[in-house]
Amino acid sequence: MTATRIWVPAVIAVAGVVAIVIGHGKTAAAGAGVGLVIVALIVWMVNWLYRIGVSSNRDREREEEAREYFDRHGRWPDE
């Protein structure tokens, strides 16, 4: 998971920066480098949004377990 969350976007961003430096900011390589940096940001943001979604699912599961406990025992689990 660490590779997907951190290393893939980092490698893409480094490749983009290298392309920008090689292209001296004026050639097609520099343009491709800017594109790679943007892609790295998009990959990072998609991973971030996925983690937010997964964490909200965990919260819903805990709430459902608390409701089931309440139905069985007549009180909330933390009371």
**What pLDDT is attached to residue 62?**
85
Q: What pLDDT, on the 0 to 100 scale, is given for residue 6? A: 86
Please say if the pLDDT value at position 11 is more than 90.
yes
pLDDT of residue 21: 93
> What is the C-alpha separation between 46 and 63, in angstroms, rounded?
26
Q: What is the pLDDT of residues 12-63, one digit of tens each?
A: 999 999 999 999 878 999 999 999 999 999 999 999 998 888 878 778 888 8
| Domain map (residue ranges) of the chain | 2-73
Cα–Cα dist 4/62, whole Å:
27
Is there a contact between 36 and 16 (Cβ–Cβ < 8 Å)?
Answer: yes
